[in-house]
Amino acid sequence: METVRHSEHTLKTALISENPRLVSQYEKLDAGERRLLNEAFKPDHDLFGPITLHSQSDWIISHPEAPQDFEQFFSDPYRKAPSPDKRSIYIQCIGSLGNTRIISEEYIKWLKGYCEAFFYGLTVKLLEPVPVSATRCSFRVNDNTQNLQIHAGHILKFLKKKKPEDAFCIVGITMIDLYPRDSWNFVFGQASLTDGVGIFSFARYGSDFYSSRYEGRVSKLQKGSSSDYAVFDNYYTPQVTSVLLLRSCKTLTHEIGHIFGLRHCQWLACLMQGSNHLEEADRRPLNLCPICLRKLQCAIGFNIRERYKALVRWIEDESDSPGVSTKRGREGTVDLPKPVDAFKEWKEWIIKCLAVVQK
């Protein structure tokens, strides 16, 4: 295992900048916010750890990129930020997210609530779910994993046409695997920063996707069926677990972060780190490092303390997913409380951050 460490001066410059204008901007932040953000370059800090690399297949090694500090983010002429008349994030569900309508509806509500807390200050709106057929996208069966896949680029074109006037961005979510072009095996997601659209799949986040027990495998498409969307009727969706919800929240906020202009983070352990595979994605934390947090705060204008409180409320509050019960014949009822067990450790971390901000 290799650890990526930067000097105190490097991290301080990446966070604050040496540009007098940006230094002045930083000094005007709330004292508690600065105290937390300064944890980035304190030698003895324990809230924000370094990036660890576990193999040659990890993102930083296999995809060399120039790092983006706050000044580069702030000065990016192509960066888009919400405006007074475009402060909504729209979520478009494509296909079902669960094996019943109720599970699917609750799942997307949980994701909506999480995004509202994470991108605190913006409104998150849900569009009516649509079947795959509504997108008119191409699809195929993956030769390696034998699961259905839909064409990410075609979905982006569909979303661009549906983007509402007040949208900062519109993102599609699906439990169907994605591919960007015929030569690629798969892709977790794809986005167009210029158009403010993205599509992300949670299909590979189920606990059984890579196992021999995976039930989503299908036989090759019959001749003439490449345009018959009936193949998606009753397609397999994984069980909604706390880990699946955590992975989905992580991917959704990471990718929307890109639409805000945040590039892959190479400073500290951070949600905005790139990931090449599921193991690496699981190592990536839910939180933004101070440098990326300042970028997002600059784009949206939230109060860091209130944002953290909103995230804690989302973890603690099950009111956006009340114990819904659905009959299952002789099996009785199934309760659907929000599965947040996997978020408990992160909640404790947020509370530590709040203690620093509120000193």
Q: Answer whether residue 259 is part of any domain.
A: no
CATH number at residue 229: 3.40.390
Q: Indicate whether 34 and 134 sit together in one domain.
A: no
Q: Could you read off the pLDDT of 33-90 as tens digits, one per residue?
A: 999 999 999 877 789 999 888 888 887 888 889 999 999 999 999 999 999 999 999 9
Split at pLDDT 50, 70, 90, the class of 226 is: low
Calculate what percentage of the chain has a pLDDT beyond 70.
92
Is the pTM higher than 0.85? yes
Distance CA 181, CA 105 (A): 30
Distance CA 75, CA 81 (A): 12
Split at pLDDT 50, 70, 90, the class of 353 is: very high
Residues with catalytic roles: 255
252 pLDDT above the threshold of 80: yes
Which pLDDT value is given to residue 59?
Answer: 78
Q: Answer whether residue 314 is part of any domain.
A: no
Q: Indicate whether 104 and 180 sit together in one domain.
A: yes
245 pLDDT above the threshold of 90: yes
Q: Indicate whether 140 and 3 sit together in one domain.
A: no
Distance CA 114, CA 120 (A): 10
Q: Indicate whether 238 and 281 sit together in one domain.
A: no
Q: Indicate whether 297 and 235 sit together in one domain.
A: no
* E strand map for 152-201: 167-174, 177-179, 189-192, 197-201
326 pLDDT above the threshold of 50: no
Q: Indicate whether 62 and 95 sit together in one domain.
A: no
Q: Indicate whether 143 and 198 sit together in one domain.
A: yes
348 pLDDT above the threshold of 90: yes
Split at pLDDT 50, 70, 90, the class of 239 is: confident
Q: Indicate whether 116 and 3 sit together in one domain.
A: no
152 pLDDT above the threshold of 60: yes
329 pLDDT above the threshold of 80: no
Q: Answer whether residue 28 is part of any domain.
A: yes
Q: Answer whether residue 61 is part of any domain.
A: yes
Which pLDDT value is given to residue 3?
Answer: 85
User: How many domains in the chain?
Assistant: 2
Distance CA 113, CA 313 (A): 10
Distance CA 237, CA 180 (A): 21
Q: Indicate whether 94 and 230 sit together in one domain.
A: yes
Point out the least confidently predicted range of 5-14, 27-36, 203-212: 203-212
Split at pLDDT 50, 70, 90, the class of 332 is: very low
Q: Could you read off the pLDDT of 60-70 as tens digits, one per residue?
A: 888 889 999 99
Which pLDDT value is given to residue 222?
Answer: 58
227 pLDDT above the threshold of 80: no
How many helical (H) and strand (E) elements, i.e. helices and strands, does the chain have? 12, 12
With contact defined as beta carbons under 8 Å apart, do 155 and 135 qualify? Answer: yes
Which pLDDT value is given to residue 134?
Answer: 96
Q: Answer whether residue 117 is part of any domain.
A: yes
Q: Residue 229 sits in which domain range? A: 88-250
Q: Phi and psi at residue 323, in whole multiples of 5°?
A: -55, 80
- Mean per-residue pLDDT, 130-150: 92
Split at pLDDT 50, 70, 90, the class of 340 is: very high
- Mean per-residue pLDDT, 149-170: 96
Split at pLDDT 50, 70, 90, the class of 274 is: confident
